[in-house]
Structure 1
Amino acid sequence: MELVAEPSILFLDEPTSGLDSVTSEEVIELLKVIALAGKLTIVMVIHQPQYDIFQQFDNVILMEAGGRIAYQGPVQEAKMFFDSIGYDNCTGLTNPADYYLKCVDTCLVENEETRKATGEQKKTVADLWEEERKQMSNAPESFPEEKFRPVVRPTMIMQFLYMLRRFMLIAIRMRTDFATDLALVVLCGCMLGILFIEASLSRWNQANAFSGLVVGLTGMITALRPLGTDETRPIFWRESSSGINRLAYFLSITVGHFPVMVLYPVFFLGPYYFLTSPRASYGDMYIVLIFTYWAVLGVGYLISIILHPDNSKMGTIVVAMFCTAMSGGTPTTICTFQTYTFIGPLAYTIAYSKWYSEAMFELEANAYHPIMAFNVQYIAGFQDYSLTNFAFCLLMLLAIGVVSRVIAFLFLIFTHRGEQK
């Protein structure tokens, strides 16, 4: 992903280590294409490159034991130098890279043996190269200024598309884990459906409280993965330090979780709707769940950034339980202190479960026959719910998702700034 920021130079440490010869050659060929297409300088450390790989290099540095340079220059001119110092046995059947390194090591061994036998110090390949370098009258002392180009980074939109593509590719590779998550969501829907099988309106708020808890936990725990683990958080820091647009990074995570917002409600609502047999339509309940997952994913991002990875999962449980307590049941008892302070109404307002439960209750209550209007109004009054507030409930869920994401992004860019430089 560092290539997204279009750096002027790329350092690689043994990019072919552990690869077979065919794959190693493919990697070097790809790097050659990238270097030429992006006018990018690539510097790499590599051991024992095969002939085809060695010929791909423009310039090479051979190092002697102790870190001294034994040769530095174009690959094609290396043979001329070694021929000039007496190592002219590199035939067409010999890999030049292996031969040159063997010459460097052989010269060192012979020098050490001579020093021990006679006390004389012979010149090593590094010494001979130093003399050769000093005699090069045509070697430029500095690079021409026109060879350097200004760094032009891709636009935020292009970076967003690159990172979204990566996010989706990772999700596809981890499809088994995603399938397991969906199976667990189905299991939660089955368990709650059995617990509230054919629930009446008087029990509907309890069903909403439990289902809101399930939605909160499944959504927030999913939201922890991109930024809330010991493996993923350092990736963001490293890529941020390389110049990646942090807003594009964050937006790619948000958009990449759209399949979660679409599929989790389907798999949860399938068994839950069948078993509880509500009067409300499946489509309306599905819309409420999409808005609720939007909200809880945003809250999950915020938790993953604020809390340490070791504490983030516990944080999601606490937040989900808090929101469930604010979701209704006996709201007047919960928020009795609202007459004394702003904390009560604020907590009641920012709890996603409150708006989820009220929206679900309104859908179910309005589906009853008008002859039941008195009982419906009584239950709604006890829960402190309105029967004409559906659109506002969805708007509040949307707002919770937006505000939590904005706060999460601000924490993302203004905390751990040392790791992002």
Structure 2
Amino acid sequence: MLSLPPRPIIPPLPATYRVALSSLHFTAIYYILAKPLVPFGKQYLILLGMFFGVYGMSAAISTLVRKENAALLAVVVAMFAAVFCGYGPSVANASSGGYLFILQMSFNKWAAEAQYSESLIPYDQVYNIEFSRERYGYTLNSTGEDLAICFAIGAVWRVIAFVLLVITHRDKQK
């Protein structure tokens, strides 16, 4: 009797492609629904930086808890991390309150600063941008630096996840 060779299993996309595709998907829908004045490429990079940070943080969380709880806990922690974007409490309030370092460790702050800066550029001639900058405390016109820091924080989360994976011996857990 002839037997057919086993069907090859299609492997899932590597995490890098998953982050790039999911952020592209989100950017496309956001761009259609919200109609931002930020160019599509910059909007994609800002959201890619946020997704990169969230996926890194989620990877670190998943090494610490059971797999049944990891997804829910990662979402909850990501929502709490979103509070530290520099909007409410603002970067200006955090500076005067002495807890600015907490916001600066969050990838959300850097992505929000880039989004804020890019969103204000079209209104340069009709809006008092300096007043807005002072009120919230964001640095304007530093999108490249903001994105670099955002991606660096995402990379640090991935290093933390790897170290935790090795330390906790997740490969031997059932």
Question: What TM bracket, shorter-length normalisation?
Answer: 0.7 to 0.9
**Corresponding residue SS for 1:291:** helix
Please tell me the residue identity of whatever aligns with 1:348.
L
CA–CA separation in structure 1 for the residues paired with 2:74 and 2:2: 47
Please tell me the residue identity of whatever aligns with 1:399.
A
- What is residue 401 of structure 1 aligned with on the other side? 154
Please tell me the residue identity of whatever aligns with 1:269.
T
Tell me if 1:359 matches 2:114: yes
CA–CA separation in structure 1 for the residues paired with 2:101 and 2:44: 27
Q: CA RMSD in A?
A: 2.7
- What is residue 11 of structure 2 aligned with on the other side? 170
- Matches of residues 3-402 of structure 1 in structure 2 within 5 Å? 22-23=2-3, 169-171=10-12, 256-330=14-88, 331-332=90-91, 335=94, 338-339=97-98, 344-368=99-123, 370-374=124-128, 376-402=129-155
What is the CA-CA distance between 1:295 and the residue it aligns to? 1.7
Once the two structures are superposed, what CA deviation does each residue of 1:215-270 show, in whole Å capped at 9, x if it has no partner? xxxxxxxxxxxxxxxxxxxxxxxxxxxxxxxxxxxxxxxxx122222222222222
Is residue 328–residue 354 contact of structure 1 (8 Å, CA) maintained in 2?
yes
Once the two structures are superposed, what CA deviation does each residue of 1:50-90 show, in whole Å capped at 9, x if it has no partner? xxxxxxxxxxxxxxxxxxxxxxxxxxxxxxxxxxxxxxxxx
TM-score after normalising by structure 2: 0.82
**Corresponding residue SS for 1:265:** helix
Is residue 261–residue 290 contact of structure 1 (8 Å, CA) maintained in 2?
yes
**Greater strand proportion:** 1
**Corresponding residue SS for 1:23:** coil
Is residue 305–residue 412 contact of structure 1 (8 Å, CA) maintained in 2?
yes
Structure 1 or 2, whichever has the larger Rg, is 1
What is the CA-CA distance between 1:306 and the residue it aligns to? 1.5
What is the CA-CA distance between 1:319 and the residue it aligns to? 1.5
Q: Is 303-312 or 411-420 further displaced after alignment? A: 411-420
Please tell me the residue identity of whatever aligns with 1:270.
A
CA–CA separation in structure 2 for the residues paired with 1:386 and 1:23: 66
CA–CA separation in structure 2 for the residues paired with 1:390 and 1:323: 20
Relative to structure 1, the CA distance from residue 304 to residue 335 in structure 2 (aligned partners, 3 Å threshold; closer, same or farther) is same
Gaps of 5+ in 1: 1-20, 28-165, 173-255
Once the two structures are superposed, what CA deviation does each residue of 1:119-169 show, in whole Å capped at 9, x if it has no partner? xxxxxxxxxxxxxxxxxxxxxxxxxxxxxxxxxxxxxxxxxxxxxxx7xx2
Is residue 366–residue 387 contact of structure 1 (8 Å, CA) maintained in 2?
no
Is residue 265–residue 289 contact of structure 1 (8 Å, CA) maintained in 2?
yes
Is residue 356–residue 393 contact of structure 1 (8 Å, CA) maintained in 2?
yes
What is the CA-CA distance between 1:417 and the residue it aligns to? 7.3
Is residue 111–residue 150 contact of structure 2 (8 Å, CA) maintained in 1?
yes
Is residue 326–residue 354 contact of structure 1 (8 Å, CA) maintained in 2?
yes
**Corresponding residue SS for 1:372:** coil
What is the CA-CA distance between 1:363 and the residue it aligns to? 0.8
Is residue 63–residue 170 contact of structure 2 (8 Å, CA) maintained in 1?
no
